[in-house]
Structure 1
Amino acid sequence: MLRPTSTLAGLSRLWLALLLMPLLWALPSTAVHAAQFKGDDLYELPAGQTISEDLFVAGRSLVISGIVDGDLFAAGQTIRIDGVVTGHVFAAGEIVLLTGEVQGDLYAAGETVIVEGTVAEDLRVAGGGNEMSVEIADMFQNEEFTLDPVMRFRMTDSGKGVVVSPDARIGGDTLAAGMDISLAGQFGSDVHAAGANVFLIDTASVSGDFRGEAGSDLAVGGRIAGDSVIKSPQF
Structure 2
Amino acid sequence: MSVFPKLITVIAVLALPQIAAAETIQTQNGGDTFYTGGLVSQSIDTKGDTFVTARSARVDGATSGDMHLSGFDVSVDVDVAQDLYAMGATVVIRGTVAEDLSVMAFSARTESGARIGGNARLMGNSVDVEGPVGGALSVIGRDVVLNAQIAGDVRVMAKSLSFGPDATIAGSLTYSSETKIDVPTRVMPADRVTFEKISGSKVFEEWEQVGRDMPALPTFASMMFGFMVTLLFFLVLGALMLGFMPNRLSRMRRSIAAAPGQTLLLGVIGLSVLFGMVPITGLTIVGLPFVPFALLAIVVAWTLGYALGAYSVAMRLWIGMGGADDPSKIARLMILAAAIVFVALLNFIPFVGWVANYTLVLLGIGAMTRFAFEAMIGDTDVALDVDMKPIED
Give SS of 1:12's match: helix
Provide the C-alpha distance between the structure 2 equivalents of 1:74 and 1:186, rounded to a whole number of angstroms.
25
The runs of at least 4 aligned residues of structure 1 exceeding 6 Å deviation read none
Residue 154 (structure 2) aligns with: 210
Instruction: Give the letter for the 1:209 counterpart.
Output: D
Provide the C-alpha distance between the structure 2 equivalents of 1:40 and 1:55, rounded to a whole number of angstroms.
18
Provide the C-alpha distance between the structure 2 equivalents of 1:11 and 1:180, rounded to a whole number of angstroms.
21
Provide the C-alpha distance between the structure 2 equivalents of 1:18 and 1:87, rounded to a whole number of angstroms.
18
Provide the C-alpha distance between the structure 2 equivalents of 1:53 and 1:16, rounded to a whole number of angstroms.
16
Change (3 A) 1:17 1:99: closer
Q: Which of 131, 136, 148 is matched with 1:185 structurally?
A: 131
Instruction: Give the letter for the 1:112 counterpart.
Output: T
Contact 1:188 1:206 in 2 (8 A): yes
Q: Sequence identity of aligned pairs in percent?
A: 30
Instruction: Give the letter for the 1:213 counterpart.
Output: M
Instruction: Give the letter for the 2:110 counterpart.
Output: V
Give SS of 2:13's match: helix
Q: Which of 152, 174, 184 is matched with 1:229 structurally?
A: 174
Residue correspondence of structure 1 range 135-150 to structure 2 within 5 A: none
Shift of 1:86: 1.1
Unaligned runs of 5+ in 2: 181-393
Bigger Cα displacement from structure 2, 162-171 vs 95-104: 95-104
Provide the C-alpha distance between the structure 1 equivalents of 2:59 and 2:14, rounded to a whole number of angstroms.
19
Change (3 A) 1:194 1:100: same
Contact 1:11 1:124 in 2 (8 A): no
Shift of 1:15: 2.3
Provide the C-alpha distance between the structure 2 equivalents of 1:164 and 1:70, rounded to a whole number of angstroms.
24
Residue 108 (structure 1) aligns with: 86
Matched, 1:63 2:41: yes
Provide the C-alpha distance between the structure 2 equivalents of 1:41 and 1:86, rounded to a whole number of angstroms.
28
Shift of 1:44: 8.0
| Structure showing the higher helix proportion among its residues | 2
Greater relative contact order structure (CA < 8 Å, 6+ sep): 1
Contact 1:178 1:196 in 2 (8 A): yes
| Structure showing the higher strand proportion among its residues | 1
Contact 2:14 2:70 in 1 (8 A): no
Contact 2:25 2:37 in 1 (8 A): no
Change (3 A) 1:211 1:43: same
Residue 113 (structure 2) aligns with: 167
Provide the C-alpha distance between the structure 1 equivalents of 2:15 and 2:105, rounded to a whole number of angstroms.
22
Shift of 1:234: 2.6
Shift of 1:22: 7.1
Question: 1:34-78: CA deviations, max 9, x gaps?
Answer: xxxxx9533288xxxxx9931112111112213011111111111
Q: How large is the RMSD of aligned CA atoms in angstroms?
A: 2.5
Change (3 A) 1:53 1:40: farther
Q: TM-score, with normalisation over the residues of structure 1?
A: 0.68
Provide the C-alpha distance between the structure 1 equivalents of 2:120 and 2:32, rounded to a whole number of angstroms.
24
Residue 11 (structure 1) aligns with: 4
Shift of 1:190: 0.2
* Larger gyration radius, structure 1 or structure 2: 2
Provide the C-alpha distance between the structure 2 equivalents of 1:167 and 1:120, rounded to a whole number of angstroms.
14
Residue 162 (structure 2) aligns with: 219
Provide the C-alpha distance between the structure 2 equivalents of 1:60 and 1:234, rounded to a whole number of angstroms.
43
Question: 1:157-212: CA deviations, max 9, x gaps?
Answer: xxxx10111111001100000110000111010000101111102xx000100111
Provide the C-alpha distance between the structure 1 equivalents of 2:67 and 2:49, rounded to a whole number of angstroms.
6
Residue 105 (structure 2) aligns with: 127
